[in-house]
Each structure stands twice: as C-alpha cells, then as structure tokens.
Amino acid sequence: MRRVTFLLVILTLLLGLPTLSGHGGEPKKDEKLGDLMHKKLAASQSVLEGIALNDFEKISRQGEELLRISKQAEWRVLKTPKYELYSNDFQRNADNLIKSAKDKNIDAAALSYVDLTLTCVKCHKYVRETRNTSIE
C-alpha cells in the first residue's frame, strides 16, 4: 500500500512538472493527438455519409483528408513494428477508398471504408493494450 501511495505521489509530481516549464500556451502532445483523432473521426463520418448518399466527391475529399491526417507527426504515437503495420494499413485503405471513389465504385468504396474502420479499431486496441502494459 505504501509503495502504491509513493508511486502515485511521484507520478503526480512528474505530471505537474510540465506546467511549471513556462510553456503553458503550447498545446500538449496528447491535446494535439486528441484533436487529430477528432478530425479523423469527423472525416470518417463524412466518408460514411458520402457512401450513404452515393457522393463520390465527398468520399474522395474525406479520404484524402484521412490520408493527410495519417501523415502528421502526432499520428506516430508508438514506435513499434506492429504500430507501423497498422499505420501503413490505414494509409493503404485510405488510398483504396480514394481510388474507389474516383472510379465511382460504391461497393469498393464501402469495402475500403469497412477495412479502414477495422484497422482503426485494431490499432486503437493495440495502443491501449501497449500503454496499459507499459504502465504496470
């Protein structure tokens, strides 16, 4: 019990140090990542809307937005081979989505969207498990 309390005190102190560094106006990495993930979610929802409405321009435009988001530095939350694999799969699926939209192939676009979504789910699960394991 004492060890847990001690670790919590140390963790609290360490988490409080960045606020003392004089960089209060700069967004924290987690805030940037959170913003990025919200943009990814909004773009993904717009892709689904485009598929439902047969709006190939929207599908293509939002697919390109997803690809752009995935190339930002904040996207790289882990430096592991498995994370790289998920990230590459995401980009490949986004490319397939864009191509399907340009080919006006709604079935292929829908399949690419499903593949893209499954990649997100698997990657988020992996990141959560990896972060939880490294904390323990």
The identity of residue 103, as a single letter, is D
Which residues, 6 or more positions from 136, have their beta carbon under 8 angstroms from its beta carbon?
none
97 and 113 in contact (C-beta within 8 Å)?
A: yes
- 30: which 2 tokens? 């987690």
The predicted structure's pLDDT at residue 9: 41
CATH code that applies to domain 30-135: 1.20.120.10
The DSSP line for 8-39 is HHHHHHHHHGGGGSS-TTSPPHHHHHHHHHHH
pLDDT tens-digit profile of 33-68?
A: 889 999 999 999 999 999 999 999 999 999 999 999
Q: Give the chain's residues under pLDDT 50.
A: 4-14, 17-27
This prediction has a pTM of: 0.73
Would you kindly state where each structural domain of the chain is located, as residue ranges?
30-135
